[in-house]
Structure 1
Amino acid sequence: MTIEYEFSISTSSEGLDTASYLASSTTSRAGASCRLARQLVSEGAADGTLHLLRDGKRVLSYKSLHSHAQRTFRENDKGIRFIKWRPSPFAGDANA
């Protein structure tokens, strides 16, 4: 049996993304889905397929929740990149 997770993703007028799954949610300027994946993995969630939904429609899928938890997004003058996540030495998960 394959486990599947579906995160609802929304963006506020201020440009902040919120990722929600069941009773859990996280908000971030970039990488809210990665941050939520890290939260679930730290709580003991089993690995499985991850689907991101916007307005109830699947927009992205990833093969592994655990792999997604190890990544985040960075934006610079070259655009947005999906990179390996490293904890911030200053504020826990602040660089998500």
Structure 2
Amino acid sequence: MSSEPTTDDVRVWLVERTYSDDEQNLIILTYATLDGDRYYRKERALTSFSDVRDTTAAVTAEPDNLGTVDDPDLKEQYATEARRMQQVHDPDDVI
């Protein structure tokens, strides 16, 4: 993901935050488009308790970095949560 959004970048909203069972201190952030069709996954390793990095309500992602959601139930879940996040938060709000 580039630091400066381009016109092709896609805004995605936080829809899920999970902790990896396989590795310690790994947080998986999933962002999705408002229609739930596409998602962006971000993994963050926490190296210490003082390792503080903000998680925002939305990020922009390059289209090539987006996956496709094939499961209809998951697509609906992502769409519902992405729209809720958009209604409640500004994109830069720390969640």
TM-score bin (small chain): under 0.3
- Select the structure that is richer in strand: 1
Query: What is the TM-score of this pair, normalised by structure 1?
Result: 0.27
- Give the alignment's TM-score, normalised by structure 2: 0.27
Normalized per residue, the structure richer in helix is: 2
Which one scores higher on RCO, CA 8 angstroms, separation ≥ 6?
A: 2
